Structure 1
């Protein structure tokens, strides 16, 4: 249960940081439907995907050992998730933006397509840092509670 708890807290912290940045950033439309719709969308700083898998991997490494098979599997899983966030989803987001621009220019009746944006490397790194910090806090909390 502690593994799942750590991963879920990391996701929540990353999402809270992301929306906190939107609240105090240039785009202050935080309380509109725009933000509620974006709560579960991908993209932005920090990466919640990276935070989640990094927290899970760190906790597995601590509790199960870094030489365990489950830790090795978790490291590979994390690498795939982070690579996908940076490369595959980022590229598909750029392509979606271009398609929406073309649809708008052509005055298409199809409307805009929904785009799942990926992450820049710094967003993935920031998410990993969030995941490590959350894992450390959860590990310490489970020892003292």
Structure 2
């Protein structure tokens, strides 16, 4: 199998698994659902693409077209995680708050008709810069480790 691919996927899984103890340290509650949620610490998107870029950089060299492609992909993914996806999460928070406010008004004024949504919008879609940085650091470590293990084998 393709070692770069395995390295990236393994790192994504590791980052997702790390979200559970990080969430526990922040809230005091174990929530195993954190493993499958978007957003949070560390960014698994950033970890995966950075692991791939790091592995490719060691394997093919930083002057290779392979490294250039992986690096540009990493920059785009990390920018998107902090930018567009984070803004979508902020908008989801605002929509959820608006839903609550309209529901409250409808309770106070029976003449208003308001049908509540079944569930709230997901708010944790993107990442804070420190979550992206933590994911990138994890990715650099796992990408380098994967290459080192390959060389020793």
- Hey, which bits of structure 1, 4+ residues long, moved more than 3 A? none
Report the equivalent of 1:143: 151
C-alpha displacement at 1:8, in angstroms?
Answer: 1.3
Cα displacement string for residues 41-76 of structure 1 (whole angstroms, at most 9, x for unaligned residues): 211111110000000001111111211112111111
| TM-score calculated relative to the size of structure 1 | 0.88
Aligned residues: 140
- How far 1:116 moved relative to its partner? 4.6
Is 2:72 the partner of 1:72?
Answer: no
C-alpha RMSD of the superposition: 1.5
Distance 2:146 2:57 in 1: 13
Aligned to 1:61: 57
Aligned to 1:8: 9
d(CA) in 1 for partners of 2:138, 2:85: 21
Alignment deviations for residues 62-101 of structure 1 (CA, whole Å, 9 cap, x no partner):
1112111121111111110000000111111011011011
1:101 aligns with 2:97: yes
TM-score (norm 2): 0.84
| Structure 1: 5+ residue stretches without partners | none
Query: Which consecutive residues of structure 2, in runs of 5 or more, have no partner in the other structure?
Result: 104-114
Say which of 120, 130, 138 aligns to 1:130.
138
Counterpart-to-counterpart distance in 2, 1:27 and 1:82:
29
